[in-house]
């Protein structure tokens, strides 16, 4: 598996030097933060193994995480807490975080996102469906976001071992829903997500 970099190559050929790839991890979980990452590589950069983080093993992701940080021209990572997700909704929270990350770069000649329109960006932006399989910059961002979020959720597993966060990473698995019912809603749960909202309402009524 390898990203073909069609979009990066086209822009590099035009003379654009700073192409930013954006992706996120954690839009679906009931608990924990959303993590958004942005990566820009040197002109002509390719990597045989950087691909959609969901298609790469955990061990390989950890290795690639270190390589991306070492080889990227510039990268940034943002952590968006559940409170912000509840206030803005997950779509807007993702969009706003991506637009804010682009502004942190010293230069931007073009932006590639994984299926997220970014109207607030001042430079040309292309939102690609399955972008983390088509663009090495987006794929790298997906790996940075995924590994960062997994580490955070493993930390929460130590704080709340009865919930099993190291295994399900906050997604709405049977194990997680059972723990939510038995132990209640935590400060790291997203109150705007239906299963959490329903459980919280039940607890308030008791």
- Annotated binding residues for a divalent metal cation: 23-24, 114
Alpha helices in 118-206 (DSSP H): 136-159, 165-168, 174-183, 194-205
Which two tokens mark 156? Answer: 């929460």
Nearest to 93 by CA among 46, 26, 19: 26
Per the annotation, where are the binding residues?
Answer: 23-24, 114
Longest alpha-carbon distance in the chain: 64
Which residues, 6+ apart, have CB-to-CB distance to 162 below 8 Å? 179, 182, 183
Beta bridge partners of 22: 38, 113
CA angle 20, 29, 82 (to 5 degrees): 80
Which two tokens mark 130? Answer: 């399955």
């Amino acid at each position: 598996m390898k990203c073909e970099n069609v979009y990066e190559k086209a822009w590099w050929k035009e003379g654009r030097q700073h192409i930013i790839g954006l992706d996120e991890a954690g839009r679906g979980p009931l608990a924990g933060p959303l993590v958004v990452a942005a990566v820009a590589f040197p002109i002509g950069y390719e990597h045989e193994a950087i691909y959609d983080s969901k298609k790469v093993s955990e061990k390989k992701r950890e290795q690639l995480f270190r390589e991306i940080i070492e080889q990227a021209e510039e990268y940034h990572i943002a952590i968006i807490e559940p409170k912000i997700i509840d206030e803005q909704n997950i779509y807007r929270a993702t969009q706003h975080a991506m637009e804010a990350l682009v502004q942190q770069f010293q230069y931007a000649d073009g932006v590639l996102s994984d299926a997220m329109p970014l109207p607030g960006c001042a430079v040309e932006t292309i939102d690609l469906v399955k972008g983390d399989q088509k663009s090495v910059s987006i794929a790298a961002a997906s790996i940075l976001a995924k590994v960062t979020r997994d580490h955070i959720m493993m930390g929460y597993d130590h704080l709340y071992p009865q919930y099993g966060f190291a295994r399900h990473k906050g997604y709405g698995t049977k194990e997680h829903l059972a723990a939510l019912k038995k132990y209640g809603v935590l400060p790291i749960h997203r109150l705007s997500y239906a299963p959490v909202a329903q459980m919280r309402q039940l607890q308030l009524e008791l």
